[in-house]
Structure 1
Amino acid sequence: MRGVIVKKIGFLSFGHWTPSPQSQTQSAADALLQSIELAVAAEELGADGAYFRVHHFARQLASPFPLLAAVGARTRRIEIGTAVIDMRYENPLYMAEDAGAADLISGGRLQLGISRGSPEQVIDGWRHFGYAPAAGESPSDMARRHTQVFLDLLRGDGFAQPNPRPMFPNPPGLLRLEPHADGLRDRIWWGAGSDATAQWAAKMGMNLQSSTLKDDEGGQPFALQQARQIRAFRAAWVEAGHARAPRVSVSRSIFALVSDADRAYFGRGGAEQDQIGFIDEKTRAIFGRSYAAEPDTLIAQLRADEAIAEADTLLLTVPNQLGVAYNAHVIETILKHIAPALGWR
């Protein structure tokens, strides 16, 4: 295990909305506007990141770039990202333009998490977006192909032959997509579900996002498997010879019980052990535990989480349907009561 690493701490919202009296997020408009307000509140509290999940065909956040641009326009310091965009659904050229625009609006704060994606709400949903694997490709292969094109575009090299009689004057040489955001290529992350995909991400020069779900590879507790995945990623990064140091994030559901509301929502136990399940017919997966306890107990539990110790960035998954004020409280309790005691700040 590595020594204590000073950590960036952000939140990760799935952006659920439910037209139910029990939910404070009842519509898509609520989910989007409250996501912006939570990012503003998190920045004011001193958090480092506002990250958003992307799910298609679901009552959740789905189109990230308008949201990222809006958050970028309302904030000044906090990192803004995704965890993750499903590359099976993406046109890499259009995505490069959207990502460049959002990054420029935010002043270079975009941290874009991409991946093959998770199990879907519909069957082969990417087909409805106009995409299909090439001959001999799997959907995962298609996602990686889209990713390679996207990464190449972010380098900013010209590739398109200019019209000899253009509407507007062109710079000399082949043309690139605009707007181009310098440095964004180094701020792309891959959400890896296995040791092998983490090593592939390292080879490609992407940072690593590891969530509370991964392939069960060996039967050890989740945190140990995740720590092993992170170490495999870092070893592959060194072997690839990249000049810069990579970043690694893990996500966790962590609740410090410091109020009656905390105890009412999360003080009754449950999800305190790793869970085993199947994300498809062939893939056995392990789901990491949640943490909810009084601060002293929580500090001891988190100190023993080997994967958190390995990471430089911690994303707190938040129950967004409980409203902006409560979720800001959740973030504040971690920053105030937990992070300093663990040497994270």
Structure 2
Amino acid sequence: MKKIGFLSFGHWANHPSYQARTASDTLLQSIDLAVAAEEIGLDGAYFRVHHFARQLASPFPLLSAIGAKTSKIEIGTGVIDMRYENPLYMVEDAGAADLISEGRLQLGISRGSPEQVIDGWRYFGYEPESGDTDADMGRKKALEFLKRLDGVGFAQPNPQPMFPNPPGLLRLEPHSEGLRERIWWGAASNATAVWAAEQGMHLQSSTLKYDENGKPFHIQQAEQIRMYKEAWKNAGHQREPRVSVSRSIFALVNDQDRYYFGQQGRGDDSFGYIESDKRAIFGKSYADEPDKLIKELAKDEAIKEADTLLLTIPNTLGVDYNVHVLSAIMEHVAPALGWR
């Protein structure tokens, strides 16, 4: 059994073939898609966060709205770039979203990814400390966020407050009990996956990672996951770790599917560079008739290692078509592979 969710980048553009032409379209359709995904039995609705782009950027209003309109589906991010965040304010936002959803928030965070603008976090008012890189800044903010999620008081109360205070130091409110145990780290390398395990965060591994040994993508990702699980065990955490991988998977069951995605499943892993000097490997997309798709996915070692699979979706094609895409996987593929 695996948990299966969707992952949306939340694109929009004023293009005649798009159903999501404005930010409003994308936000409202994201809510509708999460509601529909819950109805067809999906386990998760996850959203990317990208600043300075015509994509979803401020996740907490969206996650709160979805939480208010659903009752079972997990809601989350994949991932929030911590370089842009005020960790304390984020604790409040995350706590509120988790309470609205009654404890269904699964929050993916990371130190960041390639951006639309140069050093975009500077426009948000943030600078690394002397001697630190922006990646260091992102990790430090992540640790501060985790620390404050514990709900331990740390702020000295005013002796003459506007409202009566409880005794002792004050914590951030609203506090959501248990949210600290539902934070995930998006890792592009083996080392950061191990670091995430040591910090007690679940692991999100995307459709790309740093190329660390030249092996096929799914093999490298499976190795990363096994290293993460071993590090979690060695850290002595008393709860079970979770691991998600994301994939572009399309079951071709009608002519429209073949028109949109018939060529996508014919490629292989690809290579490129992120941050100009780091070679990365990008996993291939899967698109084929269901019987062939099942045979191909059965060979994916990283999917076998993960307990959660996030299906990337073409959100610009609208809610109805994306429900069809997800339903095709749930009906024609997941049962044969033992995911359901």
Shift of 1:269: 4.0
Q: Could you say which residue in structure 2 is the equivalent of 1:59?
A: 54
Shift of 1:20: 1.1
Partner of 1:340: helix, strand, or coil?
Answer: coil
1:56-77 CA-partner distances (Å, limit 9, x unpaired): 0000000000000000001000
Counterpart code for 2:92:
E
Alignment of 1:58-207 (within 5 A): 58-207=53-202
Once the two structures are overlaid, the 10-residue window that deviates more, 260-269 or 288-297, is 260-269
Query: Number of residues paired by the alignment?
Result: 340
Alignment of 1:1-345 (within 5 A): 6-269=1-264, 272-345=267-340
Shift of 1:272: 2.2
Query: Normalising to structure 2: TM-score of the pair?
Result: 0.99
Partner of 2:203: helix, strand, or coil?
Answer: strand
Counterpart code for 1:255:
F
- Structure 1 distance, partners of 2:191, 2:293, is 32
Kept after mapping to 1: 8 A contact 2:265/2:286: no
Counterpart code for 1:138:
T
Identity across the alignment (%): 71
- Structure 2 distance, partners of 1:311, 1:117, is 22
- Structure 2 distance, partners of 1:275, 1:268, is 15
- Structure 2 distance, partners of 1:137, 1:271, is 43
- Structure 2 distance, partners of 1:309, 1:216, is 20
Extract structure 1 runs of 4+ deviating beyond 2 A: 268-272
Structure 1: gaps spanning 5 or more residues = 1-5
Counterpart code for 1:11:
F
RMSD in angstroms over aligned alpha carbons? 0.7
Partner of 1:342: helix, strand, or coil?
Answer: coil
Shift of 1:270: 5.6
Counterpart code for 1:277:
G
- Structure 2 distance, partners of 1:225, 1:286, is 9
Counterpart code for 1:31:
T
- Structure 2 distance, partners of 1:77, 1:226, is 29
- Structure 2 distance, partners of 1:132, 1:24, is 38
1:115-174 CA-partner distances (Å, limit 9, x unpaired): 012100000000000001000100000000000100000000000000111111111100
- Structure 2 distance, partners of 1:222, 1:330, is 24
- Structure 1 distance, partners of 2:25, 2:154, is 41
- Structure 1 distance, partners of 2:3, 2:326, is 13
Partner of 2:20: helix, strand, or coil?
Answer: coil
Shift of 1:280: 1.9
Shift of 1:268: 2.5
- Structure 1 distance, partners of 2:312, 2:218, is 16
- Structure 2 distance, partners of 1:286, 1:317, is 17
Query: Normalising to structure 1: TM-score of the pair?
Result: 0.98
Kept after mapping to 1: 8 A contact 2:90/2:145: yes
